[in-house]
Amino acid sequence: MKKFLVALSLVFVFLGLTACSQQETETAEKTYKANLAVVFTQDTTSQEVVFEEGDTVMDVLEEYHQVEETNGMVTAIDGVSQDPATNTYWMYTINGELAEKGAESQLVAEGDKIEFYLETFE
């Protein structure tokens, strides 16, 4: 009788562990891909990036580059800073169009092409 109870207990433990592992798999975040380019004065870095649903442009940029920001606005990428004295600022486009939101507010979608570049205003 004791062996039967031990065997029955083991079956329940096994079923419980199996159910937990399936639940973890189902709740795993789905990942998406986009392209992130940063244009520096001398060169451009471009790479395919992976992100999760709900990630913003800032989340993706910070994941793949060293970023400095003030109030949600990018002020430096990989040590290259904007220069307010010459009206040069970091800007970005999504799919070839100037972004309408700051990088902290703009969500990234599957297949987006994001490009950061320095722009001098006159």
Averaged confidence pLDDT in the chain: 85
- Position with higher pLDDT, 4 vs 89: 89
Domain contains 93: yes
CA-to-CA distance for 2 and 22, rounded, in angstroms? 31
* CATH code (residue 39): 2.170.130.30
Both tokens assigned to 81: 């800073």
The pLDDT value recorded for residue 18 is 59
pLDDT digit string (tens) for 37-56?
999 988 899 999 999 999 99
Domain contains 38: yes
Q: What mean pLDDT comes out for the span 71-81?
A: 94
The pLDDT value recorded for residue 90 is 97
CA-to-CA distance for 50 and 81, rounded, in angstroms? 25
Chain position carrying tokens 């992130």 = 36
Q: Please state the domain count of the chain.
A: 1
| pTM score | 0.75
Domain contains 6: no
Domain contains 73: yes
Closest CA to 82 of 96, 67, 93, 94: 67
3-state SS assignment for residue 58? helix
CA-to-CA distance for 57 and 55, rounded, in angstroms? 7
Domain span including residue 66: 31-120
| Least confident range of 15-29, 87-101, 104-118 | 15-29
What share of the chain in percent tops pLDDT 70?
77
